[in-house]
Structure formats: C-alpha cells, structure tokens
Structure 1
Amino acid sequence: MNKFIEISVYTFTFHVLCYVLWLLFVTPVEGPTNIESLGSLAYLPHAGRVLPVIFFGWQAIPAIFIAELLEWEYLWQGTDFYRTTIASSISSAAVLVAWFTFRSLGVDLQYSKVLSNTNWKHVSLFIIFVSLLNGLGNGGWYAIVYDQTDALISIRFLIGDIVGATIMLTLIVILYPLFMNFKNDQS
C-alpha cells in the first residue's frame, strides 16, 4: 500500500477514535458548556492532531483536516458549519505551522538528532507549542469575527489541548504493552 495512504488511514482512524472517546466520556462530564466557542478543558482529539504528525510527519496533516471537518459536521452536528470549519482550519494550520517551525529549526521530531519522538519531553514540547498556536489562533478568530475578546477562550483552548493530548498519550503508553502482550500470547 502507498505509504501516504497508509499514514492517512491510520491518522484518520486515530483522530476519529479520539473524537468519539471525547464525545462519549468528556463532554457529558463538562456539562452545558458552549464547547464550540469556549473549547473543552480536556480535548482528547488534540492527540489525534499532534501524535500522528510527531510520528508520521507532514503526511498526516491532510487526514487530520478531513477528520476534523467530518467529525464536527457529522458527529457533532453543530448548527454553524462556518464556525466549525474555520476553527478546524485554524487547528490544522497550528499543527502545520508547528511542524514547519520545528523542521525549519532543524529539530523535526521524526528525523532530528537533537529532538526525538521517543523522548516524552520533546513530545510534550511539540504538544504545548501546537496548543499555544491553536489557542492564540482560535482566540484571535473569536475576537475578530465574533467580537468575543475574553482571554479565557485562548486559555481554555490551550489547557484543553494539553490535557487532552496528555490523557491520550498516557492511555497509549499504558495500553500499548497490553496489546503487544496479548498479540504475543495469541502467536
């Protein structure tokens, strides 16, 4: 199979899985918050954005964008397609800008000798940087277009992205050895 298609399928599936887990477990706990405009305090799909880019590089970004558009339009079924499309575009652009910035500085997590995608500190740095860009981008978007100049919007996007990605990363670290042991026992 073509490597780009394989990466796209993995990325799309992982992103949708993160989104569905977020819808089932996090949004009911957060209650009647306006997530579309404030952002979630534990946005698990952020892991679906950053982790594939960390491990697969830029080839994961188109699948991320498509997954976000489909999730917000069909799974969330929000009323404002324009708002969710722009917010998804800003989030995907934040990943692209962060990847390009790291790559330009010679510290791409996939190929660099300086930073490593197996070092939790380097992965955390990338997650925080993308979260910061996403928070500033979406906070700026709401300030300009919707005249909502509350700094909590940017802070909620930032915190929610970091917490969500950390939760998913922790789950992966815990569950991966279990799956590998199960696979080895079946052989």
Structure 2
Amino acid sequence: MSEHNSQLDAPPLAGRFLAASGVIVAAYVLCHGITALVVTPLQSMLFQDITVFASIAYLPHGVRVMSIWLWGWKALPALCIGAYLSELIFTPDAAAAITEPVLYASIAVGMLSAYLGFELLRIAGSIDYAGGETRPTWRALLVVGVVTSLFNSFGQSFVFGGLMPQAIWGPVTVFYAIGDVVGLCLVVLAMVAIRRRFFADR
C-alpha cells in the first residue's frame, strides 16, 4: 500500500519541481534581460572595461537568493539553465568572445556561492529555508545576499582573473559585491510591491 501511495505521489512532486524550475528559469532570464538592456548600457558609458565582467545592479542575484531560500539545492539546476540561456540571449558577441572560455566556471561559481553562503548561515542559525521553524525577515535575507555576494565576487574575480588587466581586478570585485546586493534589494522590493498589489487580501 505504501509503495502504491508513493507512486501516486510521484507525479505531483515531479510536477511541482518542473513548475518551480520553469518559474526560476523565467525569472532569471527576465532579470538578466533587464540588467543587460537597461543597466549595462548606462553603466558602460562610465565603466566600459568593468561592464564586460560585472554589473553595478545584477538583478539575477536576487533570483538566486530567493530561489535557494524557497527550494534549496533543488533550485540549482534551474538557476544554471537560466544563467546559460541568459548568456546566450543577451551577451553581445564582443563580450561573449572574451568570457566564453570560462562561461561554465562562472555560472558554477555564481550558483554555488549562493547555495553555500546560504547553507553556512543556516548552519550558524541566522536563517532557515522557507517553511522551516524560523521565519526569516527581509533583513536576514539581505544578510544572506551580502555574504553570498562576497563569495561570488571573489570567486568570479578568480575565474576572470586571466582575462582582464590587473588594474581592474579590484574595481571588478567591488562591482560584483555591490551589484549583487543592489540586485537582491531591487528584487526583494519588487516582490514586496507585487505582494501588496495583488495578494494584500490573502
């Protein structure tokens, strides 16, 4: 009987996983697109060399943190797919020619930084996954964003270290850290606004 029940439960679980994955991929691509089409052109006017490697407001980092909080490690495949599709769709050929040799490493660093940073803070008791015993505050999520952005900034600087002049290593690292935190803040604000607009009565 238990085996029969587990078989009946499998499709809904698979369906929820696929649905969540689809939402994550779509959100990641959308946020990356906004960053690429709005933030990047403005930033490149002032910081052209740095813009190839980092953004001052990287919205997908917010998707990473919120997805890990909601779905844990199960969000990682969808985040990787979203990151890869985003690079294919939005990265200009000139920039892609520079970053393509380390594309997969860069994607892996970004996703693992978010997951490992969240796990470290969870083990330390600072935050828990959605649905856990402790309901996190937005401040706790922002702390996660800061910690994971530091992991990501140093990791990405190492990944791209051989592709950029040493003179911009420091600025690129700073841009990664600031851009991830700003991106998370904007995504959180957008989620709060959407919740108040469409789900205020629930």
Which TM class, normalised by the smaller chain length?
Answer: 0.7 to 0.9
Distance 1:60 1:175 in 2: 22
What TM-score do you get using the length of structure 1 for normalisation? 0.83
In the alignment, is the contact (CA less than 8 A) between 2:25 and 2:82 conserved in 1?
yes
The Cα RMSD (Å) is 2.3
The code of the aligned residue for 1:175 comes to I
Of stretches 74-83 and 156-165 in structure 1, the one that deviates more from structure 2 is: 74-83
- Aligned pair 1:47/2:62, yes or no? yes
Which residue is equivalent to 1:146?
163
Distance 1:113 1:165 in 2: 24
- Aligned pair 1:88/2:98, yes or no? no
Which residue is equivalent to 2:30?
17
In the alignment, is the contact (CA less than 8 A) between 1:142 and 1:148 conserved in 2?
no
Which residue is equivalent to 1:36?
52
What TM-score do you get using the length of structure 2 for normalisation? 0.78
- Aligned pair 1:65/2:76, yes or no? no
Match of 1:158 among 177, 182, 202: 177
Which residue is equivalent to 1:75?
90
Unaligned runs of 5+ in 1: none
Distance 1:75 1:151 in 2: 25
In the alignment, is the contact (CA less than 8 A) between 1:49 and 1:95 conserved in 2?
yes
Unaligned runs of 5+ in 2: 1-11
Size of the aligned set, in residue pairs, is 179
Distance 2:131 2:147 in 1: 18
Please report how far the alpha carbon of residue 22 of structure 1 lies from its aligned counterpart in structure 2 after TM superposition.
1.4
Please report how far the alpha carbon of residue 25 of structure 1 lies from its aligned counterpart in structure 2 after TM superposition.
2.0
Which residue is equivalent to 2:153?
135
Secondary structure of the corresponding residue to residue 199 of structure 2: helix
Distance 1:147 1:22 in 2: 21
Distance 2:38 2:192 in 1: 19
**Which ranges of 4 or more aligned residues in structure 1 deviate by more than 4 Å?**
none
Once the two structures are aligned, what percentage of the paired residues are identical?
Answer: 22
Distance 1:87 1:81 in 2: 10
In the alignment, is the contact (CA less than 8 A) between 2:59 and 2:180 conserved in 1?
yes
